[in-house]
Amino acid sequence: MLKTQDEYEQVGKLILNSCFEVHKELGAGLLESVYECCLIDELRSRNLNVKNQVKLPVVYKGRTLEKEFIIDLLIEDAIIVELKSVEELMPVHEVQLVTYMKLADKRQGFLINFNVSLMKEGIRRKVNNYYFS
């Protein structure tokens, strides 16, 4: 588990560099599932611990309810990456990421849209209201 802001920044850079590499190789316009498997491979080649399609239950007042979400990627058990391949990122996509971060109690997340001509236009970073030690 990542503990310091520096550790989060280092892993964040590896995640973004991996996204840039995948986008450079594949370009825009493919299915999200293609980007997901290629990004997993790229992240693992950089020695990052990656889990994909992670089930996230809704726990309310200590009870697990009959609702669950699926996190696209969980990196180092600390950073959520939600992938898209859409014409334009919408506010609901950011709400989705923030919901996952809050339910999973994670400090940082990335919303990545691969359907862009320049990768930097498809990246949104969110940081939960946490203080780093």
> What confidence tens digit (pLDDT) does each residue in 14-37 have?
999 999 999 999 999 999 999 999
DSSP letter, residue 78 = T
Q: Write phi, then psi, for 49 (nearest 5 degrees).
A: -80, 120
pLDDT at 128: 78
Q: Which helix (H) or strand (E) holds 63?
A: strand 63-75
Name the one residue in this structure whose structure tokens are 């999973």: 104
Three-state DSSP state, 133: coil
> What confidence tens digit (pLDDT) does each residue in 84-99 have?
999 999 999 999 999 9
pLDDT at 3: 83
In this prediction, residues 113-128 reach a mean pLDDT of 94
The C-alpha R_g of the chain, in whole angstroms, comes to 15
Q: What's at 22, amino acid-wise?
A: V
Kindly report the pTM of this predicted structure.
0.93
CA angle 129, 130, 132 (to 5 degrees): 150
- Return the axis-axis angle of helices 32-45 and 5-26, rounded to nearest 10°: 130
Q: Break the chain into its structural domains and give their ranges.
A: 5-127
